[in-house]
């Protein structure tokens, strides 16, 4: 299960980084969530815990769902030291929510960008978890010399929480974002590590002396505040 878990995460990263890929977000999240489910079940087996529900006569054994596997990991205190189980759980469940919509219904346009910071942090969480539990380092199986190219910047951590109420998809987007907000509120209320839930970047500006080194030029107006003249696209 450990090797199968890694075998799911590796193509997830590869698929997401393909320059031309239809259904990119959905395929990636499905593989990532599968990788976690296998990793958590491998942990339970390693600790001699069952990964099956009680068998009924005449029926096949049924393995645990992702949510129940997470529940048993927490109930048995099996989260590795240094990894905030509450926060990691919220991160994984955010992707599980997205996966459920992709498999059983559909995802509104733009939700892939909403999911990006959760997905990026998930890979980091997964690497830490696999090293701690099984001494398997995902980084050693990947060439990290990748070109970080993109046509658009990732969604801003604040902006993605806003919804265009005029959109026909508004109700679907509101519902999904409401779920993400709820997961983050639970982590914050528990005093857990919000940094394990999503990766967020801060963009800072610094004053430079040389005009040629500036990304934008700011000039003071007489009484109207400031005027900004963009030299290049800051993104």
pLDDT at 131: 95
Scan for tokens 């997905």, then name that residue: 119
pTM above 0.75, yes or no: no
Find the domain containing 31 and state its range.
Answer: 2-196
Domain count, the chain: 1
Give the pLDDT score at 37.
97
Residue 197: what pLDDT? 83
pLDDT value of residue 231: 59
C-alpha 161/C-alpha 156 separation (Å) is 9
Whether 152 is in a domain gets the answer yes
Residue 225 included in any domain: no
Residue 202 maps to a domain: no
Dump pLDDT digits (tens) for 161-208: 555 555 555 666 677 777 777 888 888 888 888 788 887 655 566 777
Say yes or no to pLDDT of 45 above 70: yes
Give 235 or 196, the one with higher predicted confidence: 196
Q: Is the pLDDT of residue 57 over 80?
A: yes
Mean pLDDT of 149-160: 53
Average pLDDT over every residue of 63-71: 94
Predicted local confidence at residue 33, as pLDDT? 95
User: 103-142, pLDDT tens digit by residue?
Assistant: 777 666 667 777 788 888 999 999 999 999 999 999 888 8
**Quick check: is 151 in a domain?**
yes
Does residue 222 belong to any structural domain of this protein?
A: no
The verdict on residue 149 lying in a domain is: yes
Residue 116 lies in a domain: yes
Local confidence band at 84 (pLDDT 50, 70, 90 cut-offs): very high
Residue 185 is assigned to a structural domain of this protein:
yes
């Amino acid at each position: 299960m450990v090797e199968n878990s890694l075998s799911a995460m590796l193509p997830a990263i590869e698929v997401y980084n393909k320059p031309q890929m239809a259904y990119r977000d959905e395929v990636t999240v499905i593989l990532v969530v599968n990788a976690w489910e296998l990793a958590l079940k491998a942990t339970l087996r390693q600790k001699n815990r069952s990964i099956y529900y009680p068998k009924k006569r005449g029926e096949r054994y049924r393995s645990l769902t992702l949510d129940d596997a997470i529940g048993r990991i927490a109930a048995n205190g099996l989260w590795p030291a240094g990894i905030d189980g509450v926060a990691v759980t919220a991160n994984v469940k955010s992707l599980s929510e997205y996966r459920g919509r992709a498999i059983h219904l559909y995802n509104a346009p733009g939700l892939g960008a909403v999911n990006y910071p959760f997905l990026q942090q998930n890979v980091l969480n997964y690497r830490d978890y696999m090293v701690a539990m099984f001494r398997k380092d995902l980084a050693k199986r990947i060439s990290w010399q990748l070109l970080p190219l993109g046509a658009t910047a990732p969604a801003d951590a604040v902006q993605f929480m806003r919804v265009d109420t005029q959109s026909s998809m508004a109700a679907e987007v509101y519902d999904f974002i409401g779920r993400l907000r709820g997961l983050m509120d639970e982590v914050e209320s528990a005093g857990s590590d919000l940094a394990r839930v999503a990766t967020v970047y801060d963009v800072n500006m610094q004053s430079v002396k040389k005009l040629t080194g500036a990304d934008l030029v700011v000039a003071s107006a007489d009484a109207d505040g400031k005027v900004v003249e963009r030299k290049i696209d800051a993104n």
